[in-house]
Amino acid sequence: MLVVQKFGGSSVGDAEKIKNVAQRVYETKQNGHEVVVVVSAMGDTTDELIALARTLTSNAAERDMDMLLSTGEQVSVALLVIALKDLGCNAVGLTGAQAGIRTDGKYGKAKIVDVDPRRLKAELARDQVVVVAGFQGITEEGEINTLGRGGSDTTAVALAVALKADLCEIYTDVDGVYTADPRVVPDARKLDMVSYDEMLELASLGAVVLHPRAVELAKLYNMSLVVRSSFNKEPGTEIKEVGSMERAAVVSGVAYDANVAKIGLFDVYDRPGIASIIFEALAKENINVDMIIQGATRNGKQDIAFTVSRDDLSKALKVVSAIQPEVGAKGYTHDEGLAKVSIVGAGMVSHPGVAAAMFKALAREQVNIEMISTSEIKVSCVVALEDLHKAVKVCHEEFKLDENEK
């Protein structure tokens, strides 16, 4: 079997942890598998390098930051190879460039355009464990790109796809994907499987054990992913195509985002193009808008409300203040004490009434719903931040997520 194993920064945080990872990788190799390992920078290295650059200027160019930050993964690669060889395991380390990872030249947030797997295959054929620097690649012109935060997950999946690997394992500091955050819901249960779409929704809703870009890529190429802990031998959570699953739970998990702010505009003109003025102005400032609600028209005017991450609120308010005259708004309000609770499940699409059951459960606990959005596999409600834990718990109970899978 050909396995790609990815170890994040917390898994390679110090010499002892690197030795632990080496042991783990070596065991996989000794079990007769071909192994490609992708590593992130050690612990806080990336943050420390960013802090170092900040002592020089507050606006370093992205090309220079990529040259700086890509060193972190290279250090991890070298150290893991040294630890593997010390165990007697054949190993070779490769930078993103050496591993044939071609990127699109967008410094700081590059996309992988291609993986040339020749060197990787040659090293595997020589019976080597191949250790590759995550988070980075090189352009055709030889420029170093980083993939942005969480990019090492994407590197792992991209290599697995290029090598037609049998499995891509993402090692992290949690045991897998849970039905809810165990810090909020003590009887949350680890899921044995979730579908790509469920994982995407869970990841984008704040239950980030796996970067959404990596999940999308895995889905596109139908690559089996496993999320598991680097600190124990538990089997983790498998992420694969819904069709291949024995059953599709109606609701697989409850996710939340405690970092929600809402902005409301009153009495905006009700005519074509108004929404685009607002949301283009926000997009230009790189502000991600999550939910949008447009009220009913009264006298040619309407209300528009939307949510942004709390970190973006002050930037968003500046934008709103600037465009207020243009959209004819009488005024605007904001509320930064909000949160979002979501139920996610691939089976939802064929089970009507799931959303209604969620609303009823929240009402039973006196949780007021401010905004609602739904997709085929997700229902999200914006609630007051102080109601969040109660809301997560009642949803978890309502859909009996603490019970073992049938």
Nearer CB in complex with its own copies: 48/386: 48
**Single residue of 35, 37, 81, 377 touching its own copies by CB under 8 A:** 81
Establish if 296 lies at the interface with its own copies (CB under 8 A).
Answer: no
List 39, 79, 320, 327, residue binding its own copies (CB under 8 A):
79
**C-alpha of 387 from chain center:** 25
Helix axes 45-54, 62-86, angle to 10 degrees: 150
How large is the C-alpha radius of gyration of the chain?
Answer: 23
The CA distances from residue 60 to 49, 108, 151, in Å, are: 12, 11, 20
Instruction: Tell me if 71 contacts its own copies by CB under 8 A.
Output: yes
Q: Which is nearer to its own copies, 49 or 293 (CB)?
A: 49
**Interface with its own copies includes 1 (CB under 8 A)?**
no
Residue 220's contacts (CB-CB under 8 Å, 6 or more residues apart) are none
Q: Which of 68, 113, 293, 317 binds its own copies (CB under 8 A)?
A: 68
Cβ proximity to its own copies: between 64 and 285 the closer is 64
Cβ proximity to its own copies, 55 vs 366, nearer residue: 55
Least distance (Å) from its own copies to the CB of residue 17? 11
The answer to whether 196 and 252 are in contact (CB under 8 A) is: no
Amino acid, res. 233: K
Which range binds its own copies by CB under 8 A, 65-73, 241-249, 317-325, 337-345?
Answer: 65-73
Residue 292 within binding range of its own copies, rule CB under 8 A: no
53 touches its own copies by CB under 8 A: yes
Residues between 98 and 137 that touch its own copies (CB under 8 A) = 98
CB of 82 to its own copies, least distance (A): 4
Q: Does 18 bind its own copies (CB under 8 A)?
A: yes
Under the criterion CB under 8 A, does residue 74 sit at the interface with its own copies? yes
In b/e form, how buried is each residue of 150-170, taking b as 16+ CB within 10 angstroms? bbbbbbbbbbbbbbebebbbb
CB nearer to its own copies: pick between 96 and 176 = 96
Rounded to whole angstroms, how far apart are CA atoms 376 and 197? 10
Q: Which stretch binds its own copies (CB under 8 A): 45-53, 231-239, 285-293, 296-304?
A: 45-53
Q: Is 75 in the site for its own copies (CB under 8 A)?
A: yes
Other Cβ atoms less than 10 A from the Cβ of 173: the count is 13
**Which of 20, 28, 44, 78: binder of its own copies (CB under 8 A)?**
78
- The answer to whether 238 touches 224, Cβ cutoff 8 Å, is yes
CB of 73 to its own copies, least distance (A): 9
Only segment of 48-56, 247-255, 292-300, 370-378 that touches its own copies (CB under 8 A):
48-56
The single residue among 11, 40, 46, 95 that binds its own copies, judged by CB under 8 A, is: 95
In the complex, minimum distance from the CB of residue 56 to its own copies, in angstroms, rounded to a whole number: 5
Report the residue from 70, 128, 152, 307 that binds its own copies according to the rule CB under 8 A: 70
Strand-pairing partners, residue 114, are: 102
- Are 197 and 239 a contacting pair, CB within 8 Å? no
Q: In 3D, which of 244, 173, 181 has the Cα closest to residue 6?
A: 173
Stretch that binds its own copies, among 55-63, 146-154, 201-209, 323-331 (CB under 8 A): 55-63
Query: Could you tell me the smallest distance in angstroms from the CB atom of residue 247 to its own copies?
Result: 46
Contacts with its own copies by CB under 8 A: the residue count is 36
CA angle centred on 274, ends 270 and 278, rounded to 5°: 135
Residue 172 Cβ, how far from its own copies at the closest point, in Å? 22
Q: Among the candidate windows 3-11, 62-70, 172-180, 312-320, which touches its own copies by CB under 8 A?
A: 62-70
- The binding site for its own copies (CB under 8 A) comprises 15, 18-19, 49, 52-53, 55-57, 60-61, 63-65, 67-68, 70-71, 74-75, 77-79, 81-83, 85-86, 92-93, 95, 97-98, 142-144
